[in-house]
Chains A and B, each alone.
Chain A
């Protein structure tokens, strides 16, 4: 956990007072809606279909229990009793009143939570691996660097009015859980031959209407230079990024139009001017940030405790354990993923009661820490294996033990037309229907790892391009039509999916997905061949044939 000091607290409080003043000036008419819009966006406030939506940052996906309780409190006091975890380690509340927002922010500020730059054309919440600091084989905890970059990008005087939004993600594991290749800047933490920490820097990834997988701009940037290198990228982007067309304003378009070689030369030139400046980070500064991350005092515990051995007799427990429990870097401990994808539920939603109860469980079983992942699930990062059976029982009672992590019902979906003013089509009801179709755990398990991502419009908040099966809702002649892609992925081998054919109607989507899955089950060479691998081996044709043969 990162503990805010007086300096961080002061800044967050100053931000709350500033926003209180801005809301007051808006309500009195002193600020026009046009002027206020940008200010509220920079504080995470959108105007949606039915009400204001409030997006709160959970930097690098790490939450303390008092923070999760504060989110529950906001859900209960200012909203309708629930919140929605997003694909970028944020939580959204959908029914906030403008006049109450400053109070909600003040309540969150008390526990070191804010909503700064969760929207707007500035640097967004810095995201990372939800297993940071606990994943076996990780090079080092990427959150130290995430926090350094979070601070540097917060209220940056030069880059708060960029051509478009700007997202940074960091991973320090071989397996990329942070989806860095679909970010404006992706950082892969590595060591050089001298054993020094640095980053492979990727740039220009992003989804939306023109999706791109990020390209490597520099193979190694030393840790001490990372802020100046990021600043150089941003300065080039701020000056040359397009501002004439909102759909061409992301850095991915600039990188594409200039070409990665020319773009990287521009960045290199700029970087040479600023790398030996006060942006250079000395070890002491890194150590200071590192010292404010606290780690649990792990006990020496057995790998296979009696409690676990006994519980293995219960098939339901075993189904959950095999699905949702992952190895921890410390023997005797596990990482537990908590699925927010119950059958028939909107993906990523949690009620205030669930959040409070989960905070209690995290205090009891996970050293007071909770994580949020981009797949819209939560995790308890430090659970002693002996506690797994008790934890499972408690989670099950809360409806938080659906054993579907990474399976076909672990769906990423945007809020879609049920909430969002940009949407053309519904997303949540499609996800709900699919979770019902594949509710049988045996079947889902037989299918194996398969990610379905759903977006209700071309802006791609549901990451449909990188879903193993991607579903994009569009509007055609006043009707919702869904385009289906297959073969996308968001991990270290990130790829964009391929369209399988003409769009289908709302009530056909689940049938089409069933057809695709049946085709896969018939086509796979062996049960271990994952959906992704079958698509890679055979291409989209056989799936296309299957889906459209009868339509």
Chain B
């Protein structure tokens, strides 16, 4: 499954561990929430980055004490119709100011890229190769956004205000 990060298809440095996979010596690991919370300190001590796979039905606030130390949070879309992870991503970025990687996993399809980018995702485990290849093009589908989110894109309401004021200058 291709990983898109920074708009490009990249190699995934992280290895995903299950609840009971033996811990590799080094290298970057993505650990299920339960395992992570069970031994956070031990996991964070080892060499290599640690990311957490966080299920979409668990309160993301539980992860807050560790956010300064985890390199990635992988949020889950069991199907693309289940939108809980969008709220979790926004909370991570906008409430808890998390600056590490927020990764979309599960059924990640092309037609959700724009929503995901706006909610604060920056890495995408894309289900289909063709979708991953079309990432940049798809991300540019929209140039108008009605709602403010943490992604910094200017909203339609504010763009109108700017236009109003700039028109006002010359008259």
Contact = CB atoms under 8 A, between A and B. Distances in A.
A151 B160 CA distance: 13
Interface string A33-69: 0010011000000000000000000000000000000
Interface string B73-116: 00000001111101100100001000000000000010100111
Contacts of B146: 11, 151-152, 154-156
B119 A39 contact: no
A8 B111 contact: no
* Interface-central residue, A154, A157, A158, A159, by most chain B CB under 10 Å: A157
A11 B109 contact: no
A22 interface: yes
Contacts of A162: 83
How big is the B interface, by class? 20 to 34
A38 B77 CA distance: 15
A155 B144 CA distance: 10
Contact of B159 (A7, A30, A235): A7
Contact of B141 (A14, A160, A235): A14
A235 B141 CA distance: 26
Contact of A7 (B80, B109, B130, B160): B160
A196 interface: no
A239 B114 contact: no
Contacts of A151: 146, 156-157
A22 B111 contact: yes
Question: How would you classify the secondary structure of chain B's contact residues: helix, strand, loop or mixed?
Answer: helix
A125 to B, nearest CB: 15
A161 interface: yes
Interface stretch (A271-279, A378-386, A390-398, A409-417): A271-279
A7 B144 contact: yes
Given A14-B143, A152-B147, A39 B111 contact: yes
A466 B86 CA distance: 35
A279 B148 contact: yes
Interface string A14-36: 10011000100000001000010
A284 B158 CA distance: 10
B134 to A, nearest CB: 10
Given A154-B146, A157-B118, A158-B90, A238 B84 contact: yes
Interface of A: 5, 7-8, 10-11, 14, 17-18, 22, 30, 35, 38-39, 121, 151-152, 154-162, 235, 238-239, 243, 273, 277-279, 281, 284-285, 288
Interface of B: 80-84, 86-87, 90, 95, 109, 111, 114-116, 118-119, 130, 141-149, 155-157, 159-161, 164
26 contacts: A7-B144, A11-B142, A11-B156, A14-B142, A18-B111, A38-B81, A155-B115, A155-B146, A156-B146, A157-B114, A157-B115, A157-B118, A157-B119, A157-B147, A158-B86, A158-B149, A161-B81, A161-B82, A162-B83, A273-B95, A278-B148, A278-B155, A281-B157, A285-B161, A288-B157, A288-B160
Query: 3 closest A-B pairs (Cβ-Cβ)?
Result: A161-B83, A157-B118, A11-B144
